[in-house]
Amino acid sequence: MQIDSNYNIEFDSNNATLQKINIVKEGKRKGETSYRDIGYYPKLSSCLNVYVRNLINDEQPKNVEEMMSLLRVIENKIDDIGELMANERRK
């Protein structure tokens, strides 16, 4: 499940795997999408905690206003993930 333009979460029977999405910049695979595993988490909440930390590190807010804005974006993304998962369960 792609959660934004830079991160993906894959699920299997045991884990949620947080992945960083990369576009290959050179070589035979130039322009292709690749996924680098960041970590494997037995609980979605643990995976999302690491996602939030990575997103904050990526964005590096410079002041309280930027941090609050980023946290609102993150909250909306987590709500969207919850809705996607609920829809998947209904299928």
1-54, pLDDT tens digit by residue?
888 899 999 999 899 999 999 999 888 989 899 999 999 999 989 999 999 999
Print the domain residue range for 11: 7-90
Domain count, the chain: 1
Does a structural domain hold residue 2? no
User: Which comes out higher in pLDDT, residue 78 or 39?
Assistant: 39
Residue 53 has a pLDDT of 94
* Closest alpha carbon to 2 in 27, 25, 26, 33: 33
Does a structural domain hold residue 24? yes
Does a structural domain hold residue 1? no
Does a structural domain hold residue 33? yes
Does a structural domain hold residue 53? yes
